[in-house]
Amino acid sequence: MSAATLSPATDPAAVQRLIDRFAELSTTPADQGVTRLGYSALEREAHAVFAAHMESLGLPVRTDAAGNSFASLAGTGNLPALATGSHLDSVPRGGRYDGVAGVVAAMLAATALSSRDEPPSHPMEFVVFANEEGARFGQACNGSRALAARIGRDDLDRLHDADHVTLAQAMAEVGLDPDRIDEARLDPADWAAFLELHIEQGNILAERGIQLGVVDTISGSTRFRLVVHGVPSHSGGTPMNRRVDALVVASRIVLAARTLATDARHHGTRITVGRMVVGPNSMTTIPGRVELAVDVRDTDPARQRDAANELVAEATGIAEQEGAHLDAELISDASPTVLPARVTAASQAAIAELGYSHIVMASGASHDTQLMNLICPAGMIFVPSGNGGVSHAPREWTAAPDIARGVDALIATLLRLDRAPSPDGGAA
Ligand code: GLV
Ligand code: MN
Ligand code: MN
């Protein structure tokens, strides 16, 4: 079947309208990217836009204790649900597409599936996960973590943002009760499969002229905070050989991280120091304290953990050489995820039937799919990222027709999973 014969094929103009609508919800002006942090009032407003769209289709919407939103389409069978969705929070000064593309896809899939003459056998769940980005609290995927019972009440007090607002406080500020977080837990018996559409956030698809990616592996991440304690002192009075400059130590650590991630043993390890807080951050005082946030990613779990441990050991050595002291604190540690063939195979077959080109590929970024895969078989469809694959930045961009093709593939995969016999031989 060619794409042209598909009915109904997703309208790129409908995709663009929804992308633009969500992009309006930002604390930064359009030319400085989108800022809609997790557990902020704007994130809740974005969830309300999703809810209004779903309610206009006649789908009931609920919000759970973690702030995840769900819209349900009834199925004809007594079966567990097929679910799809993504997130609506952003990094500071991020793009318009990360997470949003997958939510828009879920909204348009709901529009298409709820208007079909033949309803699905499985109920369909359309979901927006709360607070996916690790940018604010260090740990990624908090909403989906709650569904998978991978975050507890204690974590909500432990994790905090740069202003020392804890996750629990941020949740309470938007009307959620952190004491009820355990109630968000999803019964694995309730979902048969989960599928997320997302922008690639890299340049492989665009560079190779491929329309879609089917993800088979998602990178893990180990994140930690390093604090370098030097000696603050006068920038003019202190001779160069009498200094313990915490920023010099931190700079050497950043360079050591790059050397480590690019040595011959690390094909694919990515290490980023994305945040540094210099104290007292005054032009005429030698920096006495520097805090670094370090993010180590890999698709190989052993290499990921070894690289993180090696970097901490090396950073400790650098601090000692410079007469400084180093504290290291683990913020979060997530393993890479291998996605099950059941869902990837369904996506590949659906995409082939649509007549679109695709490759099977790994994801460098983290996704809620990793947590959903702990509950039920999960998969991801990538659409190409334009502008050289830039993401988490204002220039993040994907053409609406490229997303529309992804939505076609998402719907076709859900319908294929709806028809597929269950792996245990039951009616699903
Ligand atoms: C989520 O976008 C991540 O940081 O990978
Ligand atoms: Mn994302
Ligand atoms: Mn992101």
pLDDT value at residue 424: 56
Cβ pair 146, 66 in contact under 8 A: yes
Q: Can you give the length of the chain in residues? A: 428
Is the confidence at residue 178, as pLDDT, over 90?
yes
- Residue 197's φ and ψ, nearest 5 degrees, are -90, 140
Which ligand 1 atom is nearest residue 391's CA?
A: 2
pLDDT value at residue 421: 73
Distance CA 424, CA 33 (A): 47
Q: What average pLDDT does the structure give for the chain?
A: 96
Pocket of ligand 1, beta carbon within 6 A = 133-134, 140, 365-366
Query: 201: CA distance to ligand 2 center in Å?
Result: 9
pLDDT value at residue 427: 40
Of the candidates 111, 134, 129, the one whose C-alpha atom is nearest the C-alpha of residue 198 is 129
Neighbours of ion ligand 2 (CB under 5 A): 98-99
Of the candidates 94, 84, 6, the one whose C-alpha atom is nearest the C-alpha of residue 42 is 94
Q: Which ligand is nearest to the CA of 142?
A: 1
Largest separation between any pair of C-alpha atoms in the chain: 81
Stretch 10-30: mean pLDDT: 97
Q: Which of 145, 270, 368, 392 to mutate to test the pocket of ligand 1 (most atoms within 8 A of CB)?
A: 392
pLDDT value at residue 428: 40
pLDDT value at residue 267: 86
Is the confidence at residue 6, as pLDDT, over 50?
no
Q: Which of 93, 133, 275 to mutate to test the pocket of ligand 1 (most atoms within 8 A of CB)?
A: 133
pLDDT value at residue 2: 43
Distance CA 141, CA 154 (A): 16
Q: HSE (CB half, 13 Å, CA atoms) of 46?
A: 37
pLDDT digits (tens, 9 = 90+) for 294-341: 999 999 999 999 999 999 999 999 999 999 999 999 999 999 999 999
Distance CA 282, CA 287 (A): 8
Query: 369: CA distance to ligand 3 center in Å?
Result: 13
Q: How far is CA 161 from CA 59, 135, 138, 158, 173, in A?
A: 35, 9, 8, 10, 14
Stretch 378-404: mean pLDDT: 98
97: its two tokens? 């597409």
DSSP 29: -
DSSP for 147-173 reads: HTT---HHHHHH-B-TT--BHHHHHHH
- 0.85 exceeded by the pTM? yes
